[in-house]
Amino acid sequence: MALQLYFVRHGQTDFSRQNRFCGSIDPPLTELGRRMAEAIGEAYGGLPWTAIYRSPRQRTLQTVAPLAERAGLTPIVEEGLAEISYGAWEGMTKQEAKAKDPEAFAWYSADTTSRAAPGGGETAFDVAARALPVLERIKTKHTDGKVLIVSHKATLRILACALLGMDVRQFRDRIAQPVGAFSRFDFLASGPQLAMHADVSHLPPDLREAEGT
């Protein structure tokens, strides 16, 4: 059996619900987010998982906890799987960031892949530089079986671009990753093949169109 690598984005937080910049800050799941986590555990907890890897943020731990308990596994924390940092704009909406520093926001908005938010923000290339080595270590350690990565919107989209051979600059425009959604890559002799993308069929109908991004 080839390696099957699953991606899942964490469940809803107040910041994802309000579409706020949320990278290095660490909000918990909302009540809807916790329901998403339970649905994920029920749908996927019985699969024969080889390993689970997650980012250091509590929203990923809370999302995967029901699944991990059913699977009898302890998720492995990887700093490289953290979300892209938005620096001084953490916790703000786009409108608030624009009002605070219109010049900086206009500069950033002209190229949100190669340019970082002020105050220590990251570019997509920064994220790729830390997340891709994690992916390579996982592929080396686990040559077959089912492995789960629990991470964040931008980080998972960047990893998907890399596996698909796409320019990382396209990650915002070409790759979707809703809260609580699963994707899967199968690693064949010919290379990684996208077998499932942004699937939310495991979520109850009222959670599949949860408010926010």
Please pick, among 78, 83, 90, 122, the residue that the annotation labels catalytic.
Answer: 83
| Cα-based angle 56, 62, 67 (whole degrees, multiple of 5) | 110
User: Quick check: 67 and 44 in contact, CB under 8 A?
Assistant: yes
Pairing of β 182-188 and β 191-199: antiparallel
Active site residue 142: no
Distance CA 31, CA 181 (A): 17
Active site residue 83: yes
**Helix intervals (H) in 72-187:** 94-100, 102-109, 124-141, 153-164, 171-174
User: Quick check: 25 and 86 in contact, CB under 8 A?
Assistant: no
Please pick, among 10, 78, 90, 152, the residue that the annotation labels catalytic.
Answer: 10
- Catalytic residue numbers read 10, 83
